[in-house]
Amino acid sequence: MFVVESICVAWFTLEFALRFFNAQSKLAFARGPLNIIDAIAILPYYVSLVVNVRDETQEEVIMGAGRGYLDKLSLILRLLRALRILYVMRLARHSLGLQTLGLTMQRSIREFGLLLLFVCVAVTLFSPLVHLAESELAPFAATHPHHSFSSIPASYWWAIISMTTVGYGDMVPRSIPGQVVALTSILSGILIMAFPATSIFHTFSRSYQELKQEYEQLWKEERGEEIAAESEESWSKVDLSPDELMPAAKQEDDRLMSSKSHQSTLPSTAF
pLDDT digits (tens, 9 = 90+) for 189-212: 999 888 888 888 899 999 889 888
Q: Which amino acid is at 222?
A: E
Cα–Cα dist 128/149, whole Å = 10
Residue 133 domain-assigned (yes or no): no
Instruction: Tell me the CB-side half-sphere exposure of residue 256, using CA atoms within 13 A.
Output: 6
Q: Are 164 and 115 in contact (CB under 8 A)?
A: no
Around Cβ 196, how many Cβ atoms within 10 Å? Answer: 18
Cα–Cα dist 45/142, whole Å = 52
Q: Are 140 and 175 in contact (CB under 8 A)?
A: yes
Residue 167 domain-assigned (yes or no): no
**Which 8-state DSSP code applies to residue 169?**
S
Cα–Cα dist 204/53, whole Å = 47
pLDDT (0 to 100) of residue 73: 63
Residue 225 domain-assigned (yes or no): no
Mean pLDDT, the chain, whole residue set: 76
Residue 87 domain-assigned (yes or no): yes
Number of domains in the chain: 1
Residue 223 domain-assigned (yes or no): no
Residue 120 domain-assigned (yes or no): no
Q: Are 128 and 152 in contact (CB under 8 A)?
A: yes
Residue 127 domain-assigned (yes or no): no
- Which segment of 86-95, 210-219, 249-258 scores lowest on mean pLDDT? 249-258
Residue 24 domain-assigned (yes or no): yes
Q: Is the pTM of this model over 0.75?
A: no
- Full residue range of the structural domain in which residue 32 is found: 1-57+69-94
Question: Which pLDDT band, with edges at 50, 70 and 90, does 122 fall under?
Answer: very high
